[in-house]
Amino acid sequence: MIHPVDTLLSLVLLSVLFSFGTSRLPGLIKVVAFQGVVASMVPFFIGHDMSAGGVVFTVATLLIRGIIIPLCIYLAIKKVAIRREVEPIVGYHASILFGLGLIVGATYVSRQLNLPAISQYLLVTPTAVALLVTGMFFLIARRNAIAMVLGYIMMENGIYLVGTTFSSHVRHIVEFGILLDVLAGVMIMGIILQNINKTFDDVDTALLRTLKE
Amino acid sequence: MIESVILWFLAILIAPFFSAVILKVKAFFGGKKGPPLLINYYTLIKLFKKGSVYSNSTTLVFKLGPIISLATAVTVLMFLPIAGYTPIFSFNGDVIFIMYIMGLGRFFTIAAAMDTASPFEGMGAAREAYFPIICEAAMFMILIFFYRLTGELQLASFFTGGNTLGLWNMAGAPLLFIVIAFFIILLTENSRVPVDDPATHLELTMIHEVMVLDHSGPDFGLIELGSFCKLFFYATIISRLILPFDFGVPAFGFALFVLGLFIVYLAIGVTESVIARYRMDKVPQFVLTSFALAFFAIIISLEFIK
Amino acid sequence: MSQFFMAILIIVFGGFLALLLARQAKLMKLIAVFSLSAGCLLGVIDAGTKLMGSDIYTASFSFLRVFSLGFQMDGLSAFFLFAIFLVSLLATLYSFHYMDHAQKPLRVAANYFFFSLLIAAMALVVCSSNIITFMFSWEIMSLSSFFLVIYNYESAENRRAGYLYFVFSHVGAMFIFVAFGIVYGLTGSFDFTAMGSLTETAKYLVFIFSFIGFGSKAGVFPFHVWLPHAHPAAPSHISAVMSGVMIKTGIYGIIRVYSLLDFNTPVFGYIVLVAGVISGVLGVVYALGQQDLKRMLAYSSVENIGVILIGLGIGMVGVSEGNPLMAVLGFAGCFFHILNHSLFKSLLFMGAGMVLHKTGTRSIDALGGLLKNMKITGATFIIGSLAISGLPPFNGFVSEFFIYFGAFKGIALGKTAFVMCIFAIVGLAVIGGLALACFTRVIGVVFQGEPRTSAAVDVNEKGATMLISMLILAGACLIIGVFPGALIYMPMKAVSALGLAYGNIPLEPFYQMTGNITQSAMILFAVVLGVIALRSFFYRGKTIGKSGTWGCGFTQPTAKMQYTGSSYAGSILEFFSAAAPLTVEHSPISGRFPLKTDYKSRINDIAELHMGTLIVRPVLFFFDKLRWIQHGDIHLYIGYILLAIILLLFFI
Amino acid sequence: MVEIIFLAPFVTGILAFFLPKAIGRQLLVGTGAIHLILSLLLWKNRSVPIFENYFAVTPEGLLSLLVISLLFFLISIYTMAYLKETDLKSENIFTGSMLLFLSTMTMVTLSDHIMVMWIAIEATTLASAPLIYTYRTSASLEATWKYLLICSVGIAMALLGTVLITLAMDVGNVDAPLSFSALTGVAKDLDPMWLKAGFVFILVGYGTKMGLAPMHTWLPDAHSEAPSPASALLSGVLLNCAYLGIFKTHKIMHAAGLGDFSGTILIVFGLMSILAAATFILKQKEYKRMLAYSSIENMGIIAFGTGIGGLAAYGAVICMIHHSLIKSSLFLSSGNMLLGYKDRLIENTGDMAARMPKTFVAFFAGFAGISGFPPFGIFIGELFIIVGAFKTGHYVAAGIFILSMCFIFAGFANQVMKISFADFINKDDANTDPKKIADPAGTIPFKEKASLVWPQYILLLTSLILCFFIPDTLYQAIIEAVTAIGGGIK
């Protein structure tokens, strides 16, 4: 029978594929939110023992990453009228193809690695790798600043997955770190985004190319 | 010692006479009678009798010019073995000293010429500074050759007694080159045709004569004497080279030496009469040939001395 | 060595004082000059006494707990110290009146400050006995001299000079770093003495690198490009020091490394010799082509470095060929020429400084007839020129005489050495001839004839200290030229410090040589006196007339009609046009009756010409091509990070 | 009670947000002074922190801590004067972030736990972002955006690396606290593959922060857009903090016997950074960017030295200390230049020697120091690095190193000559009144207050003194630090 962890992770992978195809920001935000929720649930089902503090941490993470941050961003773009396009550098179809290839690649890579801690879950490693690369992909291949932030969050999801599942050692401190990171980081990015939008009436990073040699 | 002093004195006295020989030869080729053989003495006496006129732009250097040029020429003669006799002074390395002493003379002649602010003399000075550079190179080549043979840096060891003959025995063939090379150097250093024409009427084409335009009276006399001595110096060496034979009898040796001198001066006269003066930009090639000759001589001599 | 360090301290202290007292200019100058010259005097005495004896003094200070700043003063160091302190002393004296017109007291103070640093650094360079000390003093030397070069930074030309010098000295230092790095890398010791224990290949490398590094400081031909720019830019007493002694520290480096490597391959000798001949000949050719008085002197320094290197090369070849006499003669000539050149070159620069100071121009063709108003300057300058052309009875001749002797000793040797020696001798001969042409030109155009422009009309030569130091130097040139025997022990001490396996060298043969020189000089003097007597005899009671120069029939000669320096040098330069291409610019003649036209000609230094095209341009091109990396797009930047990781993951 | 050192500035920082300007400035200097005293005390007796498994007092940490507090103190003095000259809209945000920045950086130097170190470094990013955005211009906005995003991505990589190292523990069945010191102890048993992977990620991550090419891209923008005191802090201290992370990881690698692997990577990145610096210094148009690139160069030098080890590692640490001192002084001087010339472009500056003599002295001395001239310490450092490189047989690397140093010097010197000596044409009155250009200082409406130049002088003086005389404790600390990565005198 299939393990619940793998079920969750397959959902995450699905969200990854979706995200590649999404062209509108609200859609992307929803995808990321969903991804955050699902990814944050993984620790409950994975074998490691859960202390009370651990539960609190995990729940907090879930709330923040799954709900608060996406909501903030969503409201932000609702309030200020900014373009809803993610303004791709790489086109959607190409992106989807890339996504498929990525998942295959990730699976292949994870075959190479031997991880005793999580040998029984097939999908952990592929998903983590996929999330990481997807995040990178969004950072590189989307001009819209918000899309980039979302990509960053995805990357953090990936790292979260790695941190929480791969080893039992650092669980909480890793979660704490990521929590702080995402929270503060995204907040400040949000502020900067606000300013960018105020200054340029747009969050298209093509406008941010003046500083160069 | 004493006879070498006498010889030295004689050399200074007799130098003007031989220079007159050249004039005679040229006159002969020109189908003229030419001046008397003592003409140079008359000129000198005449000059020494006169007073002088100095240009306003000249300084002390101008007066130093003649003095130093004569002094150097005379000093050089002191180191020269005349007719195979040991010179008054001689030390290992005196050749280098002699060459640089001549350079000193040249320095002051040039300086004196530049002192007058005359464009013509400047022109002459420039040429006087230019050609001897190559000459010196050639001279040192010849010196290297001699050193290769004798292992000495001393005129005496080349030209006294039987040494010269020894040279011939050691490396006769290359020595021929050396003689020719040295003759070319002689023509250049003493500003004779084909390098320079002392007898031309146009200052633009002169080297040495134009440099002394502003000298007059005794100063000019000193300069003239100096140039006679200089020419005599080179002539002596060549005459020794071409007639190196050394018999016990002094008188015989002298005769031979004087004969050699005559040959040299005749040769100069003949060259002056048959060759026209080169264009100034051709002169360097001409001088370089002497350098090349000396160089070949050395290369060949490598075969002779193993 | 305490006396030595005392001298250094006094000098540096004087520099600091100058900086502190910058406000009251007169006092500052007085104190600075006083303490600097006091320190130099102490140093000269110290070095002189050390040269008398033959024992080695060492001192060492702990540095950063584990390292040490080592100093060692042997004959070689003492010899260089003597020259350094002597020239610096006279230059300091000279500066007292030379710097008097400067309106900016602060800058004058800075000048004295860095001057003191320069002197101290030079002294320390020649006394340091390990890598750290050496590089430290070396870099201080470069830095301080840089500030001295850009003293007059208002003119763009001087700024460029300073920049060139800065870059060259730094790159040179880097080469030296490499050489020493190899030494440390293979021996693991900062001590100079470790060099001896290297492998042969390493020794070759070390020598090559250090030769390039030191050569760029000394101004050896392809690396001399900075020199003719920097030396004229500095104030004249600084130029005197830089040309007189600072570039010699480069020579010192070469000699020191050579003696430390203690490796008798002929190759070193050949390299040095060829480099010497090339820089000698080309240096003097370029000097002949210059229109700037001080730049011409700078190029003639390149020439003299060439002569020094020829001597050095002869010495090295002698060592490698196992011919002691040749070796000692070569080295002795080299050292003697180092001393002599520092004397007459600083003399000439001081003369040039006087001319610049009074006429306000350095352009040779703008001057003329200065000898009438500047008797002492002119006379000393002529003496200097005679000396630098290597004519007897002046000191230049002595050193060249030694070098010639050494070279001739090499004639008897086998093939390559033989060819090298021929090369050396002919090179020396050509150098001598060209130098004569070069300096007759300067004297003739600058000091004789008629003033060519108003700049040269009614000048004076006020400034006692300037005249004094010039007179001292001129006197030294003559005295050494006549009585070289008195100083022969100095170069000999330096030679014996090289650690050649000849024991202590017998001085008799050299005393004999110097004796001959003295004798012949005496003869010359005697004859000259005789001729003067004769002349005055002829002139007694004669009428001496005055009139204009005979214009060959032309009655209105003007100063403009004089032969200019350029025309004087023209035909010779044509002969060397392959190495010294001439560029001529003049506006075309227009109209039926052309009124005014202009003509500019310049001699190009091929090294400078090619440096731009072969090194600078390619480098700039390469880096320009790389500039797109930073092209502003954040996506690309993040891409770099990804790329870096992916690439690195391959190596796990 | 070691933690007080970073807690104190944290508190004052929070306070500064709400206090009026004037008090904020006082607070800045006051905190600086306290911080300096505290760290000196800590230097005297290395007391044990409360949270032992999170914080520790390591020699390398102490070194950077001392540098930090000294620099911050002097910079805060400068900042007071500087803020008087310029009117910032949101000054208390600036001062507050300065203090928070200080506290986070202090935390970095003291943290021993891998994750804590990571968190602290991330925190420095967040704390310094407002500093860069101080001027509220679109350019500064862009700079901040790039800084934030690129560094966050980099830091994320570092986080991944940290996790991978824990993985290496799992795979190697090691159970130890996650602190650098503990890990260094058990390094032998860690799984080499995952350890390497971890190092790679950490290097790239912290390397991004440290400004190693090709991850340096944010650095010139941030440093040139930030106000000069902030740039001084960023370049003088922040980079060292990032370097600390790499250094400690390298220590683990070395203990695990993988020193060659990490060393080689460090050497490569070092050389790449130096080359990158050369590329952009050669034709640089803005002096602050030029200084930023020179920081990249020096980070490259430090990485290079660390990678080579031996004497070079010693040299690298010396370089790090002196670079902080000199570079921050240079950035402060650049602040004066900005006040004087009102322009960042080199072509609009000039003749500083006559117009701003005091600043000129500081600036030129700093230039001489940074390009490795004695009597400043970097000379010693570079000497050791070069000879060390030869000692370990990295001939090619040393060759590239020296060559690019030459290029950098050529470019740097060219620009500095322009700034210091070239004729200054003031755009405003060039066309109106040539006389005004002629007279020095006439066209610069700027007074060189003592507090605007003395901090630089003190910094340079410190470097100068340290070049001749190095206190025993300091020396011991350096040796302790470098021996852990196979460095040392012999």
What's CA B138's distance to the chain center, in Å?
A: 14
Q: Is residue C635 part of a domain?
A: yes
Please give the structure tokens belonging to residue C642: 């990804």
| Closest Cα in chain B to C372 | B59
Contact assessment for residue D121 and residue D197, using Cβ atoms and an 8 Å cutoff: no
Query: What's the total number of domains in chain B?
Result: 1
Identity of the residue numbered D397: A
Is residue C627, in this structure, part of any structural domain at all? Answer: yes
Q: Are B184 and B288 in contact (CB under 8 A)?
A: no
Q: Which token pair is A50?
A: 């859960």
| Both structure tokens of A121 | 């879950």
Residue A117 — very low, low, confident or very high, per pLDDT cuts 50/70/90?
Answer: low
pLDDT (mean) for C292-319: 96
The answer to whether the CB of A203 falls within 8 A of the CB of A84 is no
Give the distance from CA B42 to its chain's centroid: 22
Closest Cβ–Cβ partner in D118, D143, D167 for A211: D143
How close, in Å, is residue D142 to chain A by CA atoms? 6
Please name the member of D178, D221, D225 whose beta carbon is closest to the beta carbon of A170. D178
Q: Does D379 touch chain C (CB under 8 A)?
A: yes
C-alpha closest to that of D470 among C132, C64, C136: C64
Q: C648 and D295 in contact (C-beta within 8 Å)?
A: no
Average pLDDT over residues C413-421: 88
B104 and C386 in contact by Cβ < 8 A?
A: yes
Interface contact flag, A169 D129, Cβ < 8 Å: no
Query: What are the start-end ranges of the H helices in C540-633?
Result: 565-575, 606-610, 617-626
- Decide: D and A in contact? Rule: 3+ Cβ pairs under 8 Å: yes
CA atoms within 13 A of residue B60's CA, in its CB half-sphere: 11
Mean pLDDT by 10 residues, chain D (490 residues): 89 92 91 94 87 88 93 95 86 93 95 91 92 91 93 92 88 86 91 93 96 94 94 94 95 93 96 96 94 97 95 94 96 94 90 91 96 93 94 94 95 95 73 50 71 95 93 91 83
C646 touches chain D (CB under 8 A): no
B203, B209, B208, B182: which is closest to B268 by C-alpha?
B182
> Considering only alpha carbons, which residue of chain A is nearest residue C633?
A209
Substitution target in C634, C646, C649 with the highest count of A β-carbons within 10 Å is C634
Name beta bridge partners: A144.
A204
Half-sphere exposure of A181 (CA within 13 A, CB side): 34
What does the alpha-carbon distance between residue D31 and residue D36 come to, in Å, rounded to a whole number?
Answer: 8
The β-bridge relationship of strands B52-55 and C57-63 is unpaired
* Percent of chain C with pLDDT strictly greater than 70: 100
Please tell me the distance from the alpha carbon of residue D304 to that of residue D149, in angstroms, as a whole number.
Answer: 27
Q: What is the dihedral of CA C247, C253, C258, C259, to 10 degrees?
A: 110
3-state helix, strand, coil in chain C (%, to 5): 75, 5, 20
Report the alpha-carbon distance of residue C119 to residue C90 in Å, rounded. 12
Mutate which of B130, B141, B149 to test chain C, going by most C C-beta atoms within 10 A?
Answer: B130
Structure token digits, residue A141: 């291949």
- What's the rounded Cα separation, in Å, for the pair D60 and D180? 12
- Return the closest-CA partner of residue B109 out of B128, B127, B81, B90: B128
What does each C-alpha distance from D5 to C68, D94, D248 come to in angstroms? 38, 21, 21
Instruction: Give the whole-number percent of chain C exceeding pLDDT 90.
Output: 80
CB pair distance less than 8 Å for B122 and C563: yes
**pLDDT value for A56:** 82
Assign D375 to helix, strand or coil: coil
Q: Which residue of chain B comes nearest to C540, CA vs CA?
A: B51
**Mutate which of A132, A133, A134, A139 to disrupt the C interface (most C C-beta within 10 Å)?**
A139
According to the model, what pLDDT value does residue D85 have? 87
From chain D, the residues in CB contact with A172 under 8 A are none
Interface contact A140, partner C, CB < 8 A:
yes
Which range is least confidently modeled, A12-26, A66-80, C226-240, C525-539?
A: A66-80
DSSP B240-293: HHH-----S-HHHHHHHHHHHHHHHHHHHHHHHHHSPPPPGGGHHHHHHHHHHH
* A140–C635 CB contact, under 8 Å: yes
Interchain pair B93, C549: CB under 8 A: no
CA distances from D179 to A188, C119, C168, D115, D185 (A): 29, 55, 49, 8, 10
Best to test chain B binding among C375, C438, C571, C574 (most B CBs inside 10 Å) = C571
Q: A213 contacts in D (CB within 8 Å)? A: 280
Closest CA to C473 of C355, C325, C348, C593: C348
The whole-number pLDDT of residue A49 equals 66
Counting Cα atoms < 13 Å in the Cβ hemisphere of C624 gives: 6
Distance from CA of A173 to the nearest CA of D (A): 7
Q: Is the peptide bond before D375 cis (omega within 30 degrees of 0)?
A: yes
Residues ≥6 apart with Cβ < 8 Å to C513: B92, B93, C401, C402, C405
Taking the Cβ of residue A84 and every Cβ of chain C, the question of whether any pair is shorter than 8 Å is answered with no
pLDDT range class, residue C483, cuts 50, 70, 90:
very high
Domain that includes residue C631, residue range: 606-649
* Res. A21: pLDDT tops 80: yes
**What is the pLDDT at residue D448?**
85
Q: Is D440 on the interface with C (CB under 8 A)?
A: no
Indicate the length of chain B as a whole number. Answer: 306
Q: Structurally, how many domains does chain C consist of? A: 1
Give alpha helix (H) positions in D190-348.
Answer: 192-210, 218-225, 228-233, 239-255, 259-281, 287-308, 311-341
- Return the pLDDT at C211: 97
Q: Is residue C147 part of a domain?
A: no
Residue A83 has pLDDT above 70, yes or no: no
Distances (CA, A) of A63 to A60, C226, D209: 5, 70, 30
Instruction: Encode chain B (306 residues) as per-residue pLDDT tens digits.
Output: 788 999 999 999 999 999 999 999 999 999 999 899 999 999 999 999 999 999 988 999 999 999 999 999 999 999 999 988 899 999 999 999 999 999 999 999 999 999 998 888 999 999 999 999 999 999 999 999 999 888 889 999 999 888 888 888 888 889 999 999 999 999 999 988 888 887 777 777 788 888 888 999 999 999 999 999 999 999 999 999 999 887 778 888 889 999 999 999 999 999 999 998 888 888 999 999 999 999 999 988 887 665
Helix axes of D114-132 and A171-200: crossing angle, nearest 10 degrees: 10
Cβ distance of D144 and A192 shorter than 8 Å: yes
Least confident window among A41-50, A68-77, C257-266, D92-101: A41-50
Instruction: From chain A, pick out residues whose CB is under 8 angstroms from the CB of C633.
Output: 205, 209
- How far is residue D145's CA from residue D257's CA, in Å, rounded to a whole number? 40
Under DSSP, the state recorded for B195 is: T
What pLDDT, in 10s, does the model give residues C176-201?
999 999 999 999 999 999 999 999 99
C-beta separation of C295 from C231 below 8 A: yes
Alpha carbon distance B214, B272 (integer Å): 26
Question: Is D193 within 8 Å of C643 when comparing Cβ atoms?
Answer: no
Neighbours of D335 (CB within 10 A): 27
Interface predicted TM-score (ipTM): 0.93
For residue C391 the two structure tokens come to: 């004519």
Residue B108, strand partner residues: none
Q: Which of residues 391 through 410 in chain C touch B, CB cutoff 8 A?
A: 391-392, 397, 400-401, 404-405, 408
What 3-state class would DSSP assign to A192? helix
